[in-house]
Amino acid sequence: MSENTVTASHRRLTIRVLRYNPREPGSEPRIQEYPLEEGDGMTLFIALNEIREKQDPSLVFDFVCRAGICGSCAMLINGRPGLACRTQTKNLGPEIMLAPLPGFELIADLAVNTGKWMRGMSERLETWVHTREQEVDLTRLEERMDPELAEQIYELDRCIECGCCIAGCATAQMRPGFVGAVGLSKIARFRLDPRDARTDAEYYELVGDDNGVFGCMSLLGCQDVCPKDLPLQARIAYVRRQMAKQGFTRG
Ligand code: SF4
Ligand code: F3S
Ligand code: FES
């Protein structure tokens, strides 16, 4: 070996995956272990792909963008919700436990149907701009907005609907109808948006119960695990304050 040869010693990782496919007859929940040599800059996305290519083509997990944008790779990483494509193995110990996000319909192994949950929540909270006019006035929709307000709305629009805040919230795990931090922050977002013609009473009717703002026990797990670092706690407190100010009580 020449003097200039660089030898990199990589860790041996053990990746354990909670596996179960409810659609496969005879499938039982089990933990499967995969040994793997850690590569430079390896993310869990790379690790799982390597496992699927070289060891086990039957392993099911979701990825689309690989860049923390689509939200589809969220899973429990050593018990904590996070994005697999943004998690580097070097920041974890050599033994890594992966499981599907709780609180969502399981598709198989690490893949869950967050889309179905998010659609249900969006339909229930009507997360779109409501106008009073029969015909939408596009010029009004394009009216100039105060930059500070636009920034606050933009901040909440950064949500990628990954579901981590639901998986990290004890209330959401106990109460299937709870709209969670993602839902409450969407209500805050539309309440801030001057283009949305809904009245306060209309907003708060949507979240003025235990499945909405009164179900939140300020446990803060949502904010701790949000991969986009959204100010979820502040937005939930904002909705609560606005409701109290205007005399709305538990529905
Ligand atoms: Fe994910 Fe954060 Fe949006 Fe929750 S609020 S769905 S954790 S991006
Ligand atoms: Fe849950 Fe977050 Fe409230 S963790 S209880 S939604 S502060
Ligand atoms: Fe899109 Fe991870 S693959 S966020």
* pLDDT digit string, tens, across residues 188-244: 999 999 999 999 889 889 999 999 999 999 999 999 999 999 999 999 999 999 888
Query: How much is the pLDDT for 145?
Result: 86
- What are the DSSP E strand ranges found in 25-72? 30-37
Band the pLDDT of 134: cuts 50, 70, 90: low
Tell me what the mean pLDDT of segment 67-82 comes to. Answer: 98
Residue 63 Cβ inside 6 Å of ligand 3? The answer reads yes
pLDDT over threshold 60, residue 108: yes
Q: 71: Cβ below 6 Å to ligand 3?
A: yes
Q: Which residues contact 190 (CB under 8 A, 6 or more apart)?
A: 127, 129, 196, 198, 203
**Mutation to probe ligand 3, out of 43, 63, 101, 228 (largest number of atoms < 8 A from CB):** 63
Dihedral angle of Cα 186, 191, 197, 202, to the nearest 10 degrees: 80
Mutate to test the pocket of ligand 2, among 182, 207, 210, 222 (most ligand atoms within 8 A of CB): 222
Structure letter (DSSP) for residue 43: B
> Is there an atom of ligand 3 within 6 Å of 72 CB?
yes
Span 113-122, pLDDT tens digits: 999 999 999 9
Pairing of strands 95-99, 12-19: parallel
Q: Do 196 and 93 sit in the same domain of this protein?
A: no
In this prediction, residue 2 carries a pLDDT of 42
Torsion of CA 198, 222, 236, 249, to 10 degrees: 90
pLDDT range class, residue 3, cuts 50, 70, 90: very low
pLDDT band at 142 (very low <50, low <70, confident <90, very high): low
Q: Is 251 part of a structural domain of the chain?
A: no
Query: What pLDDT was estimated at residue 167?
Result: 98
Residue nearest to atom 8 of ligand 1 (CA): 159
pLDDT (0 to 100) of residue 251: 59
**Ligand 3 mutation pick, 43, 44, 75, 85, max ligand atoms within 8 A of CB:** 85
Residues 172 and 238 in one domain: yes
Q: Are residues 135 and 54 in the same domain?
A: no
Distance of CA 206 from the midpoint of ligand 3 (Å) = 30
Specify the ligand 1 atom closest to the Cα of 164.
7
Does residue 169 line the site of ligand 1, with CB under 6 A?
A: no
Does residue 162 have its Cβ closer than 6 Å to ligand 1? yes
Residue 120 shares a structural domain with residue 176:
yes
Tens-digit pLDDT profile for residues 5-37: 445 578 999 999 999 999 999 999 999 999 999
DSSP state for residue 212 in the 8-state scheme: T
CATH of the domain at 130: 1.10.1060.10
Domain that holds residue 231: 113-245
- State whether 146 and 85 are in the same domain: no
Same domain, yes or no, for 100 and 126?
no
Same domain for 20 and 121? Answer: no
- Whether residues 229 and 117 share a domain: the answer is yes
Are 59 and 123 found together in one domain?
no
Residue 69 Cα to ligand 3 middle (Å): 6
What band does 138 get if pLDDT is binned at 50, 70 and 90?
A: low
